[in-house]
Structure 1
Amino acid sequence: MTFRILPVAFLLAAPAAAQAFPVTVQSCDREITFEGAPERAVSNDVNLTEMMLALGLRDRMVGYTGVSGWKTLDERLRADVETLPELSPQYPGREVLLGANADFYFAGWNYGMNVGGEVTPDTLAPFGISVYELTESCTHVMEKPKASFEDLYSDIRNLGTIFGVAERAEALVADWHEDLVRQKDAAGNGARPLRVFVYDSGEDTPFTAGRFAMPTALIEAAGGVNVMDDLEKSWATVGWEEMIARDPEMILIVNYGEVTAAQKREFLMSNPAFADVIAVRENNFVTLDYVAATPGPRNIEAVGVLARAFAEAGE
């Protein structure tokens, strides 16, 4: 299964009625109003860029940022963005967005923006650049429920409203929802949820996913439980003793950056401190690419990958 960008036939079909503007959407703890659809949008990171592409919004974009500095575009995404420039390999400075004459920035907290940093909704507003914030990242600026697929669906619906393609967004969400139900049905119901630890990076201390990060929702949909579900953060650093004490039965490795998933697995397998951890002892590892482990179109197929790995580990 692959994530779906709406087919050309759908995108070119005669629209029902043009969406009326102005429109107002919720972005974290802000309400933002658009008098018309943005025409010079910029997205940050691979997953957010894929959301824009999945909605057929490439012609509304002037570029993307925050990919090559940390990650490599896979064949799928490389083909989809070949007509778009990467404006900055990492987080863009304000001058990058102004230089592109951007009128919209789709980013998130720690996905292209830092709290109190140079690029925020407040700092861009005086220049006529509206910002929509990734819902998963809102935990950095407000209280929110733990991560769920509703975060993804809300982002797609809000982007659909902002760009005047609400019907496309609803069709995409309905399609993903059906696929997710199929993935859950295929996973079945085990006697109990498999205990899973998310290993993003780090050797001295691990960077992992807490209750507000998307892997928590992916793991639960696949029939498992994130052992760090009580960590009141999204992505954060913890001590190795935390992982060892919780004795995960499966370790989910996030694949990106200079250290490969194979190297991360070898580090865990070769370290005597982890020898008694069930997942290490039984060689129970599963890998998701960064673009599938963070909010975006590939989350649905990620559930299938996890469900199959959990089933095999439970046999």
Structure 2
Amino acid sequence: MRALIYGLCALLCSSPVFADSYRNCGENWRAAQPSRIVALNQHAADLVLALGAGSSLVGVAYLDDTEAGQRPSAYFGVPVIARQYPASEVLYAQKPDLVIGGFATAFGDGVTSRSGLARNGVGSYLLESACNGHSLDYFGHVRNDLLTLGKLLHKQPQARQLSEAMDADLTRARALAKPGKPLSVFYLDSEVKGLDSEGSRGFVTTLLAAAGARNVFADLNQYRVTVSRETLLVSDPDVILLADADWSPASRKRYLLNHDPVLSQLRAVRENRLIDIPFTHLLPTAASGRVALDLARQLNALDKKK
């Protein structure tokens, strides 16, 4: 197997032609004009597909929420090369010239690190919202991703259209916001190892604000937070937002909320003020404006039932 890796690396290293330079995560990078792209996360693949570059996608990995609980062999016609992150030999077997990650964890060590890929003639891109030390301007990060990848993939018109559509949807979402105190929302990311959620540094806080609501734990200056049942009961959110993911389906969260002796006492649970949402919709992507608008409409509908 090592011979296969070294052989592929030698092939890729034989004539790397870096045609385009771009800035990503505060550093300058170079890559050839991509014709064989591997997306290491579902939302990274979604961005490439939205730009109209799906014909260049030769592999996708780590699907989070496509029909939560299912394991498809293809994603919009693109082969799924690994259930989670692919082994190095699987990644290099695709002969990629650009690898795109949605989370920093997508890039490993050695030949699958960004520097390792570059040494082997493979370009890489990490979505700006996942860069180390990133700002909390999440919608700005999406615009930056669209601008950079649009140029790199020679899809600038599509990138501009997507950016403008996102901003238009965000404007419509803000217009739906009602005066007065916004609805308080608890976001339940996962129930596997406790009630995992996000604080002020997470994108969900920004998304909820765009939809005219407030993350009940927005005062916590953290990205990830894990709260106790008793703390959540005291917070008593108006609405609970449930991530629907392969590794933690919304249906399983609903069962927990309705059958746990403490959580079942929450007003949002008793009144069925629960919203299921695909996990990738809770990440900053080109679709985030549309997600904020749809969320604003659902929250308004629940607000009328108060």
What is the TM-score when the length of structure 1 is the normalising length? 0.79
The yes-or-no answer on 1:248 pairing with 2:242 is: no
Q: Partner amino acid for 1:295?
A: P
Corresponding residue for residue 26 of structure 1? 23
User: Which residue pairs with 1:121 in the alignment?
Assistant: 114
Provide closer, same or farther for how the CA distance between residues 118 and 198 of structure 1 changes in structure 2, counting only shifts above 3 A.
Answer: farther
Which residue identity does 1:104 align to in structure 2?
Answer: L
Percent identity reads 26
Cα distance in 1, alignment partners of residues 110 and 265 from structure 2: 43
What is residue 34 of structure 2 aligned with on the other side?
38
Match of 1:148, as an amino acid?
Answer: Y
Query: Which residue among 136, 141, 152 is the counterpart of 1:151?
Result: 141
AA of the residue aligned to 1:170: R
2:205 and 2:46 map into 1 onto residues whose CA distance is 21
2:182 to 179, 193, 204: 193
Code of the residue aligned with 2:55 in structure 1: it is D
Describe the SS at the equivalent of 2:77.
coil
Residue matched to 1:49 = 45
1:211 and 2:208 matched: no
Shift of 1:22: 5.2
Larger radius of gyration: 2
SS of the equivalent of 1:26 reads: strand
8 Å Cα contact 1:94/1:118 also seen in 2: yes
Q: Deviations over 1:162-200 (max 9, x none)?
A: 222223211221122112212322x23231121111112
The correspondence for 1:170, drawn from 133, 138, 160, is 160
CA distance in 2, matches of 1:134, 1:212: 16
Which runs of 5 or more residues in structure 2 are unaligned?
1-17
Instruction: Count matched residues.
Output: 284
Equivalent position to 1:262, from 251, 264, 280? 251
Which residue of 83, 86, 99 maps to 2:93?
99
- In structure 2, what is the Cα distance between the partners aligned to 1:257 and 1:94? 24
- Residue 5 of structure 1 is matched in structure 2 by none
Match of 2:170 in 1: 180
Contact 2:129–2:284 at 8 Å: present in 1 too?
yes
Change (3 A) 1:118 1:152: same
Residue 288 in 1 paired to residue 247 in 2? no
Q: RMSD of aligned C-alpha atoms?
A: 2.8
Paired residues of 2:60 and 2:80 also in contact (CA < 8 A): yes
Taking a change above 3 Å as real, the CA distance of residues 205 and 54 of structure 1, as seen in their structure-2 partners, is same
Q: What displacement does 1:258 show?
A: 5.4
Q: 1:159 to 1:236 in 2, by over 3 A?
A: farther
Cα distance, 1:246 vs structure 2? 2.9
Give the CA deviation at 1:276.
Answer: 4.5
1:291–1:298: 8 Å Cα contact kept in structure 2?
A: no
Instruction: Please tell me whether the aligned partners of residues 288 and 302 of structure 1 are also in contact (alpha carbons under 8 angstroms).
Output: no
Q: Distance in 1 between matches of 2:232 and 2:143?
A: 31
